[in-house]
Amino acid sequence: MESSAIIEYFQDKNERDSVAQILFTKDQSDSFEEIVSDCLKILKSIPLKEKIYALRNEIREKESRGEDTINELSAITKLREELNGL
């Protein structure tokens, strides 16, 4: 149900104002929770991205020397899965 429909239900101006304030406060607190959640995801993702970057560099170095990179590729896959799970 739309917030405007809820507010229009009340005939008294004071009641409408009170309901509007309650609805706005609820929406605002939800957005704060979403912002905090997004910030936590970003903070958790930074070290994972740094590890992936380091592994990619290691893969390039190993490939230039003709060495096997299966362990690094496997580690990157696991880190990406962890990153996608955030």
Among 5-19, 20-34, 39-53, top mean pLDDT goes to 39-53
* Residue 57 structure tokens: 């560099």
Domain that holds residue 73: 3-84
Residue given tokens 């096997």 in the structure block? 68
- Residues 34, 42 contacting (CB under 8 angstroms): no
Give the number of domains in the chain.
1
Collapse the DSSP code of 85 into the 3-class scheme (helix H, G, I; strand E, B; otherwise coil) and give the result.
Answer: coil
* Residue 54 structure tokens: 């380091």
Taking the C-alpha atoms of residue 24 and residue 32, their distance in angstroms, rounded to an integer, is 12
**Residue 27: per-residue pLDDT:** 58
pLDDT tens digit sequence for 28-82: 666 767 766 787 888 889 999 999 999 999 999 999 999 999 999 999 999 999 9
Which has more pLDDT, 50 or 22? 50
Q: Say which amino acid occupies 27.
A: D
